[in-house]
């Protein structure tokens, strides 16, 4: 796949400088929305678990939907209506560390469990688009669609603590790089000439991308009564999604564990390597410079 991308870059480079075709550079930035897929389903399940299993709960974990998106694209103008664009971008979806606290009693003695979570998902899309420019009363409507190669990463920091037996757990997950996933994108844009070769542009882009087999490095530390009982690290942790039976109701869950430690038993089902969807839409604005 890397050879294919390099081949495309080389072809566009040669085409730009070997023929008398014009080209332009577009730089944009803005906001993005993604569905997140199995991640958001698992977050709903964790919140439902705390609500059902504790006498009182403080806080809740947020779904991961909103983020930022930036991009640059070199567009080779085949003629006044059609162009081919090679682009690269950056997307990030995250939220600050969130904490959920659950209170419970054991023979009248109160205890407190605390769980914290901070996820970050980033992606660098390399895109190849076909553009169709349609003049409309002094502005240009830009319709585009194409294929993308999305190089993505997931990082998660989580910790769990309990006043019961002073149990403490910290777990970090860093996928380094999920690798390239093929996706598709398309949308429409509006170009408003500002004079000379400059234009103000607004783009609305929809995309279909699903990340799978998310594997990464991990560190796992657990202590009991202040005494370390687990202090492990490795390179084979996976993002898992599954369903857990809670008092007769199957709730969706998520976890980051090795294959050897994946959820099992009659209370768990549909256990599988989870998928994270970058499918969604972005709205970006910026400038286009013609050459």
pLDDT tens string 217-229: 999 999 988 888 8
What are the phi and psi torsion angles at 50 (to 5°)?
Answer: -65, -40
Question: pLDDT value at position 18?
Answer: 43
CA distance 212 to 178: 8
Q: Span 27-50, mean pLDDT?
A: 94
Q: List, in sequence order, the alpha helices (H) in the chain.
A: 2-18, 38-53
Please report the pLDDT score of residue 3 as a whole number.
53
Residue 116 has pLDDT above 90, yes or no: yes
Cα-to-chain-centroid distance, residue 226: 36
The answer, yes or no, to whether residue 97 has pLDDT greater than 70, is: yes
| Segment 213-238 mean pLDDT | 89
Structure tokens at 130: 């076909």
Out of 3-17, 36-50, 176-190, 228-242, which region has the weakest mean confidence (pLDDT)? 3-17
Strand intervals (E) in 35-138: 56-58, 66-77, 82-94, 98-106, 109-136
Q: Report pLDDT digits (tens) over 170-206.
A: 988 888 656 678 999 999 999 999 988 999 999 999 9
Give the CA diameter of the chain: 83
Task: Report yes or no: 214 and 178 within 8 Å, Cβ to Cβ.
Answer: yes
Bridge partners, 250 (sequence order):
245
- Would you give the end-to-end CA distance of the chain in angstroms? 30
Distance CA 127, CA 266 (A): 44
pLDDT over 80 at 21, yes or no: no
The CA-based angle 277-278-282, given to 5 degrees, is 145
Q: What 3 state SS string does 157-173 have?
A: EEEEEECHHHEEEEEEE
């Amino acid at each position: 796949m890397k050879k294919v991308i390099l081949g495309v870059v080389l072809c566009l480079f040669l085409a730009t400088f070997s023929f008398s075709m014009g080209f332009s550079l577009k730089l944009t930035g803005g906001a993005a929305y993604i569905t997140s897929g199995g991640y958001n389903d698992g977050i709903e399940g964790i919140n439902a678990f705390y609500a059902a299993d504790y006498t009182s709960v403080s806080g809740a974990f947020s779904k991961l939907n909103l983020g930022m998106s930036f991009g640059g694209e070199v567009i080779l103008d085949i003629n006044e209506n059609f162009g081919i664009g090679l682009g690269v971008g950056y997307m990030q979806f995250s939220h600050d560390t969130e904490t959920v606290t659950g209170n419970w009693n054991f023979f009248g003695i109160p205890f407190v469990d605390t769980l914290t979570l901070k996820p970050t998902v980033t992606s660098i899309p390399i895109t190849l688009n076909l553009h169709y420019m349609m003049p409309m009363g002094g502005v240009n409507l830009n319709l585009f669609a194409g294929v993308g190669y999305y190089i993505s990463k997931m990082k998660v920091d989580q910790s769990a603590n309990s006043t019961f037996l002073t149990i403490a757990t910290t777990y970090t997950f860093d996928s380094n790089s999920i690798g390239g996933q093929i996706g598709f994108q398309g949308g429409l844009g509006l170009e408003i000439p500002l004079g000379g070769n400059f234009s103000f542009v607004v783009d609305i882009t929809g995309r279909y991308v699903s990340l799978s087999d998310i594997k990464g490095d991990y560190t796992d530390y657990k202590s009991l009564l202040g005494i370390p009982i687990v202090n492990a690290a490795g390179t084979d942790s996976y993002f898992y999604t599954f369903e857990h039976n809670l008092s007769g109701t199957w709730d969706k869950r998520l976890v980051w564990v090795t294959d050897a430690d994946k959820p099992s038993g009659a209370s768990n089902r549909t256990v599988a390597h989870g998928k994270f969807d970058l499918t969604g839409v972005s709205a970006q604005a910026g400038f286009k410079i013609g050459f």
